[in-house]
């Protein structure tokens, strides 16, 4: 009798386990969250407040460093302390315990743009397609990209629904880069209504139109972030892209203190995003988080506001990767040079969309070896004249 009872218990357990394995909520399929901070320099990412830039900005207003509240809050004698004051969650928690970052030039780590224009659209296009397309993608014109993005490739290859790949952006043009075929992804970009069952979120959607920015085709980042978080909780997309903008526009306007405030705010949002991912069984333990930028900007106190062809520093970018299967932590030191176009195959690899990582998703593109950033494919990675297309 005992043996028979155990047989039933074992059978029940097996059934429970097989149901668990088929339950999509319990499946261990990978998820991906991509976050971009528009035009954030390697200087601020790796060394925090740049006193030379702040001094230059304050000097024009006949102010001293000591007069600045931002200086009092974010200044520290060492670059490690300064960056941790500016982005305490990124440096103190995320990179200390969960992921790594490349691009600290002072440490011998380089991530470079391949595209020659070093503007936003060419930068987002390189990031999302894995190619520079320098002859076609030349400026920030608000036109739809002719090239499929890696988000579209992941969606197609993994047979995801449109709603499983979601894009939230403050600058409307990013929607045109992410989605070459209108309607292929869920896109909410620029000032755009966002429908949601929660009345608070619906009210925020209305308020975005009553909250103008000084910049065209852009909504405040706070709306973009709140809509993305509401979407994450309600719809559980497998791939979520959050594109934040203010760091770039504030820099163009010469408002260095506001740039630092924005970056500090982004750090708080990263903490909220991470906490949400870790407290949701759909995401916890099998979600990658990639944080990067579309272009750098000038290195010195006169060039920091601008970027583009001929502005030294515009090609220097950075990328942070949290991959549950990758043991590396913190800021990566001297090694091979990464390029920004490695990101697209890296995102495909993180989602297990191997074909995209291998052959560019079947597109007839230049005959290039594609590798990803990081991963265990390091020995296969190449760095030819500072131009690598390997997944990281």
- What residues make contact with Zn ion under the rule CB under 5 A? 38-39, 120, 248, 294
Q: 83 or 307, CB closer to Zn ion? A: 307
Q: 111 or 154, CB closer to Zn ion? A: 111
The gap between the terminal CA atoms of the chain, to the nearest Å, is 58
Report, in Å, the least distance between residue 293 CB and Zn ion. 8
Q: Which residue is nearest to Zn ion (CB)?
A: 120
Report, in Å, the least distance between residue 47 CB and Zn ion. 20
Report, in Å, the least distance between residue 39 CB and Zn ion. 4
| Cα separation, 262 vs 328, whole angstroms | 28
Q: 173 or 208, CB closer to Zn ion? A: 173
Q: 68 or 120, CB closer to Zn ion? A: 120
Report, in Å, the least distance between residue 59 CB and Zn ion. 26
Q: Beta strand 31-37 with 319-322: parallel, antiparallel or unpaired? A: unpaired
Report, in Å, the least distance between residue 123 CB and Zn ion. 6
Q: 152 or 294, CB closer to Zn ion? A: 294
Q: 157 or 294, CB closer to Zn ion? A: 294
Report, in Å, the least distance between residue 143 CB and Zn ion. 16
Q: 164 or 294, CB closer to Zn ion? A: 294
Contacts of residue 367, defined as CB under 8 A and 6 or more positions apart, other chains included, come to none
Report, in Å, the least distance between residue 269 CB and Zn ion. 18
């Amino acid at each position: 009798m005992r043996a028979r009872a155990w047989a039933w218990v074992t059978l029940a357990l097996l059934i429970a386990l097989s149901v668990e394995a088929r339950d999509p909520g319990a499946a261990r399929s990978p998820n991906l969250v991509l976050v971009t901070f528009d035009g954030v320099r390697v200087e601020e990412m790796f060394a925090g407040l740049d006193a030379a830039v702040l001094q230059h900005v304050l000097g024009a207003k006949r102010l001293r460093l000591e007069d600045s509240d931002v200086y009092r809050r974010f200044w520290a004698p060492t670059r490690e302390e300064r960056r941790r004051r500016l982005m305490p969650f990124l440096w103190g928690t995320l990179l200390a315990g969960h992921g790594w970052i490349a691009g600290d030039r002072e440490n011998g780590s380089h991530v470079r743009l391949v595209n020659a224009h070093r503007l936003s659209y060419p930068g987002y296009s390189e990031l999302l397609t894995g190619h520079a397309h320098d002859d076609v993608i030349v400026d920030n014109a608000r036109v739809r990209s002719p090239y499929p993005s890696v988000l579209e490739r992941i969606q197609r290859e993994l047979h995801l629904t449109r709603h499983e790949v979601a894009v939230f952006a403050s600058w409307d043009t990013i929607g045109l880069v992410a989605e070459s075929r209108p309607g292929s992804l869920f896109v909410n970009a620029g000032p755009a209504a966002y429908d949601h069952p929660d009345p608070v979120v619906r009210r925020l959607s209305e308020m975005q139109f009553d909250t103008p920015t000084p910049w065209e085709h852009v909504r405040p980042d706070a709306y973009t972030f709140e809509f993305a978080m509401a979407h994450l909780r309600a719809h559980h997309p497998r791939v979520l892209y959050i594109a934040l903008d203010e760091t770039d526009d504030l820099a163009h306007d010469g408002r260095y203190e506001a740039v630092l405030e924005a970056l500090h705010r982004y750090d708080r949002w990263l903490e909220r995003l991470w906490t949400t991912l870790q407290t949701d069984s759909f995401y916890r333990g099998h979600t990658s988080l990639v944080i990067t930028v579309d272009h750098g900007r000038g290195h010195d106190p006169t060039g920091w506001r601008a970027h583009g062809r001929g502005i030294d520093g515009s090609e220097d970018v950075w990328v942070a990767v949290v991959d549950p299967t990758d043991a590396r932590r913190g800021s990566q030191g001297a090694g091979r040079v990464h390029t920004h176009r490695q990101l697209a195959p890296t995102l495909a690899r993180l989602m297990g969309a191997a074909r995209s990582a291998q052959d560019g998703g079947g597109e007839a593109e230049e005959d290039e070896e594609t590798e990803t950033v990081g991963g265990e494919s390091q020995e296969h990675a190449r760095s030819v004249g500072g131009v690598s297309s390997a997944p990281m």
